[in-house]
Amino acid sequence: MLDALSRTFFLSLAGSEPLRRLASRYGMRAGGFARRFIAGETLEDALETARQLTGAGLLLTLNYLGESVASIEDARRAADGYVRMLGTMREHGLTPRISVKLTQLGLVHDPAACEANLRRLLDAGGDACFVRVDMEHSTWVDPTLDLVERIWRDGHRRVGVVLQAYLYRTPDDLARVNALGIGVRLCKGAYKEDRDVAYPVKADVNAAFVDLTGTLLRDADYPALATHDPHMIAAARAAADEIGRSRDSFEFQMLYGVRRDLQASLLDDGYRVRVYLPHGDQWFPYFMRRMGERPANVLFVARSLLHER
């Protein structure tokens, strides 16, 4: 109950424009409270952080923060930014791997233009590129899956999708994408949802995550398990060992700045670990969702603010 209230509270703050303006004065400056979770406001900031993380043995997915753009022109500009990002990553010797939200590419305003933007990213990325289509509010699950499937059936094999364990429908969605062979990143889910579409109780979400993890490890070619929960990680390791799955045939994914101790220990144990590395000036809603997901994040930021003061 407390976790649900915390998530609701921080999601409501994410839409506060006065709070966003106040936070922008302090959050992203050097040593600011948000820099623990966000690589910076520019691509150059993100690339510098990326070099440090790859040097430590971590895999990376870059994300340019932003969602629900105001116009199709804004969506086109976001796609332009991703195209530049892919080229710059190659120039710096980084594997071009990105995560995108379809509402950022124009899904709300013009689904056809959104699809064209996504295809442009795949074409611009080259053979080594991989584009992970992020999942958003339950409103957008069907349009997202339909678009990813359409692109997959057209022969693009460098695209994957995210599924959220807290939605009741996800086992059916997982069966659908597994049957096609589309790569899945499984997470718990961070958006505010009604109890008629999503589990409202954390224990139920955890149970769903464990069940879906077992399905992925049995049936998928290369699953990605996005969690910072040691219990979920232990369950995944046990399930993989039980079926004899090698440690390099799947990966754990974590957010930049969260549970760096777990990231290091998994690397030491021979698992693959990928860090989701966000950057951009539209960082505030993302930051507030991170606060709502985990009380330890709130405590970290509170300590940082006290230290700054």
In residues, how long is the chain?
Answer: 309
Residues ≥6 apart with Cβ < 8 Å to 273? 57, 58, 59, 251, 252, 253, 254, 263, 266, 267
Give yes or no: 134 in active site. yes
Q: How confident is the model at residue 286, as a pLDDT?
A: 73
Query: What pTM value is reported for the model?
Result: 0.85
| Rounded Cα gap, residues 295 and 6, in angstroms | 8
Q: How confident is the model at residue 37, as a pLDDT?
A: 83
Q: What is the pLDDT of residues 270-279, one digit of tens each?
A: 999 999 999 8
Q: How confident is the model at residue 4, as a pLDDT?
A: 54
Q: What is the pLDDT of residues 75-96, one digit of tens each?
A: 999 999 999 999 998 888 888 8
Average pLDDT over residues 109-135: 94
Q: How confident is the model at residue 280, as a pLDDT?
A: 84
Helix %, strand %, coil % of the chain (to 5):
50, 15, 35
Q: How confident is the model at residue 190 (pLDDT cuts 50, 70, 90)?
A: confident
Q: How confident is the model at residue 65, as a pLDDT?
A: 84
Q: How confident is the model at residue 130 (pLDDT cuts 50, 70, 90)?
A: very high
- H or E stretch covering 221: none
Q: Please answer whether residues 242 and 248 qualify as being in contact, where contact means their C-beta atoms are separated by less than 8 angstroms.
A: no
Q: What is the pLDDT of residues 8-60, one digit of tens each?
A: 555 555 555 665 555 555 555 555 667 778 888 888 989 999 999 999 999 99
> Can you read off the two tokens belonging to residue 119?
């295809």
| Sign, CA torsion 182/65/256/212 | negative
Task: Write the CATH number of the domain with boundaries 40-282.
Answer: 3.20.20.220
10 Å Cβ neighbour count for 219?
Answer: 14
All structural domains of the chain with their residue ranges: 1-38+286-309, 40-282
Q: How confident is the model at residue 128, as a pLDDT?
A: 84
Most confident of 64-78, 98-112, 269-283: 98-112
Q: Which of 35, 76, 97, 134 is catalytic?
A: 134
Main-chain phi, psi angles of 74, to 5 degrees: -65, -40
Give yes or no: 185 in active site. yes
Q: What is the CA radius of gyration of the chain?
A: 18
Q: Which of 20, 119, 132, 185 is catalytic?
A: 185
Provide the mean pLDDT of the chain.
87
